[in-house]
Chain A
Amino acid sequence: MDNVALRISHLTFRYPGQSYDCIHDLSLEIQAGERFGLFGPNGAGKTTLMSFMVGLLEANTDAVFVSGKDMSIHKKEVSASIGYVPQDFAFYPELSPVENLEFFGAWSGLKSKVIKQRTEELLSILGLSDVANKQVFKFSGGMKRRINLAIGVIHEPEILFLDEPTVGVDVQTRHAIISYLKALNDKGTTLVYTSHHLKEAEDLCDRVALIDKGEIVAYDHLSKLLTQHEEGDLEQLFLKLTGNAYRD
């Protein structure tokens, strides 16, 4: 129990005005230090589930625990230990990478000395030192993705939630981002990752959960699931469990 980074227990949620549950009686556990993948077709409930995990949606008592603390009671304490990298470029494009990191670092409660040190470190690792003081709106999509990631990890979170962190980038940037995430995980950061890029997910994730219509349809180590369902890769498994029909 001590090693559990995140636990969701019998979570059910329906958006106002909807006739069905977006999340239905869903339970799962993510161990500290693991690389966990959350997959499912469009509208399966992945984003909603991640919103509960990071505290954007408020769950009932005893439904979501992060680092052993009930999210509905200890949200502010928990928020210091989690990082979130949304799919959108959630930063200020008119500011430079340094200014963005300073701003979000301050919001994360870091002291200015720590912010400065972390900013230099992250910009160097992610290959942005040369453009540290240029306005972000002039950057390529790949550079923006890296800044998006840097902001999410500036406060060295224990658990990092990543919503499609490599969408729309070239092979080099994808490789750099995945390598960096692996390095972070090696240092003990728990990764909770969602993507439609299943080849990348196979490379990154230890355990996975496949969600469809608000329920878990598969949840285990990837290798065990492939063996169990006699499939060669995650994409085949995905299609087998969720079907071929459009999910718009």
Chain B
Amino acid sequence: MRDKVGLTLMFVMPILLALLITSIQISAFELVNNNKIKVLLLNKDKGSLSIDMLNKLEEVGRFELIEMKTLDPKTVGDDMNDRDAFVALIIPEGFSDKMTQKAQGAAGKALVEFGIESQVKNLAVLQMDSLTLYFHPVIQESFRRSVEGALKSVLQVMESKTMLDALYVSINGEKMPASFEQDMMANQTGVREQTTSHNGVRSIPNAAQHNVPAWTIFAMFFMVISLGGNIVKEKLSGSFVRLKILPTNFMLGLLSKQLIYLMVAMAQVFVIFSMGVYLFPHIGLPALNIPDDFWGMVAVSFICGWCAVSYALCIGVFAKTQEQANGFGAISVVILATVGGILVPSFAMPKSFQLIMNMSPLHWCLESYYGFFLEGGKLNQIMANVAPLLISIVVMQLIAFIGLKKKNLI
């Protein structure tokens, strides 16, 4: 604890991490949800349907269409780079005609099927030429799906409208009135988004609620480098041996050491959470909302901290050198954080990882915190997540005790 630089880093690094990750996540969120996505457009169609479709695409509000005179597949990447666009769309020649013909064919077929008409011309349903969508290689799969989904949705509306027009003309012999068309197309069922919670209060979780607890856990477990390395140093230097022969119970000393590191962990929680509450709003990030069950959160922080200390103790007991403790300790925490859902959301993990995920104490720390920060729960409502943590602590303390006994250090 005399290592002031090391001690400072134990606080500064996680704060930076929480700050950076929250900022990056918010930027990514804004990129996808708030900023308009630039789309390079080459419309080879001469009809009105493609224009209708593009109008509807603009109505979605997420796309900024940039019309191009040419778009060559070989140079489309350069065009995107020049115009800061991530997507390019080519509407094929004869798009409107083919869509109309397809609708007429489908409508005619439907009338025969319904028994309204006995024979209709152009029964064959045409196959449409595909629209071509180019994505910049940096674009992630989820973003592609989102753009693709929006485009398909607009296409679906266009096809439905054209089909309805064709049916109306076939039955009534005249064009569908605009008011009727509007009535038919406007009645789309809306989707109301709700976030579930334990306390019934439906606040929308922000990036700070996700990131600050997650990186605080990461910081607490990174203590393994300090505590684990410290224990190895004491083993190698002979301090442990000296302490063992002194009258004071060695276990008492070991508990005191754990208590000191537990206090550091609690201080980390206090500092990082305070930054989330007070600093974040001043730098344009969403503020961290402290849960209603404050003391429940404190209790869970204490348990998470003790779990981190127990893990560090285990590493320190079994590592033979400081390099082993530092190397294995740091990498294992990153692995446990990854499988535990801190680096990658747990729901996004493959099924084969779900079992491994449950083995990571960081996962249960995260789930416990999310119980408070995202679901507005109370301590008694998240005990299913806290119980594995308590079991982990007991198991790791036992393993450390057995290790110390085997090495004749206690």
Contact = CB atoms under 8 A, between A and B. Distances in A.
Given A107-B253, A108-B248, A91 B237 contact: yes
B408 A84 contact: no
Interface string B1-19: 0110000000000000000
Contacts of B2: 94-95, 135
A90 B244 contact: no
Interface residues on chain B, size class: 10 to 19
B245 A55 contact: yes
Contacts of A59: none
A107 B243 contact: yes
Interface in B122-159: none
Interface in A94-151: 94-95, 104, 106-109, 135, 151
Contact of B237 (A55, A90, A106): A90
B242 interface: yes
A75 B67 CA distance: 89
Interface string B390-408: 0000000000000000001
A92 interface: yes
A107 B241 contact: no
B247 A88 contact: no
Interface in A35-58: 54-57
Interface in B243-267: 243-248, 253
B237 A79 contact: no
Main SS at interface, chain B = helix
B239 A57 contact: no
Given A89-B237, A90-B237, A91-B237, A56 B247 contact: no
Contact of B241 (A80, A82, A90): A90
B237 A54 contact: no
A116 to B, nearest CB: 18
A33 interface: no
Given A56-B244, A107-B246, A107-B253, A86 B238 contact: yes
B155 to A, nearest CB: 68
A79 B242 contact: no
A107 B245 CA distance: 10
A104 B246 contact: yes
Given A57-B408, A90-B237, A95-B2, A84 B242 contact: yes
B236 to A, nearest CB: 8
A80 B247 contact: yes
Contacts of A109: 246-248
Given A57-B408, A91-B237, A86 B242 contact: yes
A165 to B, nearest CB: 13
A76 interface: yes
Nearest to B250: A107
Interface residues of A, number: 27
Contact of A79 (B3, B236, B247): B247
A28 B269 CA distance: 58
Interface string B209-247: 000000000000000000000000000111101111111
B248 A107 contact: yes
Contacts of B243: 104, 107
A76 B245 contact: no
Given A79-B247, A80-B247, A108-B246, A91 B241 contact: no
Interface in B1-54: 2-3
B247 A108 contact: yes
Contacts of A91: 237, 239, 242
Contact of B238 (A88, A93, A107, A108): A88
A92 B1 CA distance: 11
A163 to B, nearest CB: 10
B242 A76 contact: no
Contacts of A95: 2
B355 to A, nearest CB: 36
Contacts of B242: 84, 86, 90-91, 104, 151-152
Nearest to B1: A94
A246 B118 CA distance: 112
Contacts of B239: 90-92
Interface of B: 2-3, 236-239, 241-248, 253, 408
Interface of A: 54-57, 76, 79-80, 82, 84, 86-95, 104, 106-109, 135, 151-152
Given A91-B237, A104-B242, 6 more contacts: A54-B245, A55-B245, A56-B244, A56-B408, A79-B245, A90-B237
8 contacts: A57-B408, A76-B247, A79-B245, A80-B247, A86-B238, A94-B3, A104-B246, A108-B247
